[in-house]
Amino acid sequence: MIGRLNHVAIAVPDLEAATATYRDTLGAKVSPPQEEPDHGVTVVFIELPNTKIELLEPLGENSPIQAFLDRSPSGGIHHVCYEVDDIISARDRLKEQGARVLGNGEPKVGAHGKPVLFLHPKDFNGTLVELEQA
């Protein structure tokens, strides 16, 4: 059901500093910052030959990333994102298997302009999983 790894997301307390580390120290190609108010984050994507790294900074006081950074002030891996061919059939199959879909269970538009869903980390070995329609 899952396809390729789309990205690994890293929560960071300072997006500008983290961007500079990837761009200047590691020599990576980094996208411009993009605000995603529906998800409460500002993101940049680091382009790699085989996938992407997404850096997440809280946007607004109710950002779920702020709660993550309150527990891990220096940041860390927040989630992994896998592509699926059909997000609705993937959701329905996962729910039939007992997996919990976060939020209201309906896809939201993600940073790539495609439908996304998040799956409860307790159902996936402590890892928050994002599914993105390919």
**61 part of the active site:** no
Instruction: Please state, as a whole number, how many other Cβ atoms lie within 10 Å of the Cβ of residue 65.
Output: 23
Decide: 3 and 81 in contact? Cβ < 8 Å.
Answer: no
Q: How far is CA 102 from CA 16, 30, 49, 68, 71, in A?
A: 29, 29, 30, 16, 20
Q: Which of 57, 83, 130, 132 is catalytic?
A: 130
Residues labelled as active-site residues: 130
